């Protein structure tokens, strides 16, 4: 399975919260070309159900709790994102599903490329064929 959990640099201020930060190329293995975030999802709802042919991404959840289900075509792994100082670095070629464990959790993503609908594989059988090729 080609993913890693990374610690996002975080500085705590006494009784005044914390600040977390990362930089493309320095803290991630790619230049950041796009940022997007997903909000307003009710508890128990799922998104995703696709893979990317080339895109690499850092997923993190600065507020709430989201389960990320990763599928390599052979194994499935479940990872909980619920800390502002932690993220999942995803390489391409992994099927992902995201389950909102708490309403209003926010999923933030730093991506290695601009939006390209051609980079998506949204059919699971096509994904399995892509993995074998």
CA atoms within 13 A on the CB side of 130: 21
Decide: is 79 part of the binding site for ligand T46 (CB under 6 A). no
Question: Taking CB under 6 A as the criterion, which residues in 55-74 touch ligand T46?
Answer: 57, 59
CB of 114 to ligand T46, least distance (A): 8
Q: Which of 6, 8, 38, 106 binds ligand T46 (CB under 6 A)?
A: 38
Using CB under 6 A, count the residues that bind ligand T46: 11
Identify the DSSP state of 126.
H
Quick one: which segment of 2-10, 15-23, 31-39, 77-85 binds ligand T46 (CB under 6 A)? 31-39
Q: Does 47 bind ligand T46 (CB under 6 A)?
A: yes
Per-residue tokens: 80: 């909980």
Nearest of 32, 3, 24, 26 to residue 92 by alpha carbon: 3
Task: Show contacts with ligand T46 in window 101-120 (CB under 6 A).
Answer: 109, 115
Strands (E) located in the chain: 3-7, 9-12, 18-21, 34-38, 46-52, 57-63, 66-71, 76-81, 86-90, 95-100, 106-111, 120-121
Largest Cα–Cα separation, the chain: 53
Tell me if residue 78 is catalytic. Answer: no
List residues near ligand T46 by CB under 6 A. 34, 36, 38, 47-48, 57, 59, 96, 98, 109, 115
Residues with a known catalytic role: 50
């Amino acid at each position: 399975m080609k993913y890693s959990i990374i610690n996002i640099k975080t500085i705590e201020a006494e009784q005044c919260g914390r600040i977390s930060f990362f930089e493309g190329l320095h803290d991630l293995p790619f230049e950041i070309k796009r940022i997007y975030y997903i909000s307003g999802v009710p508890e128990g709802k799922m998104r995703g159900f696709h893979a990317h042919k080339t895109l690499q991404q850092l997923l993190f959840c600065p507020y709430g709790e989201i389960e990320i289900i990763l599928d390599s075509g052979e194994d499935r792994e479940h990872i909980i994102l619920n800390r502002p100082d932690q993220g999942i670095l995803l390489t391409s070629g992994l099927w992902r599903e995201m389950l909102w464990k708490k309403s209003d959790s926010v999923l933030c993503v730093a991506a290695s490329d601009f939006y390209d609908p051609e980079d998506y594989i949204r059919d699971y059988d096509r994904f399995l064929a892509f993995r074998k090729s």
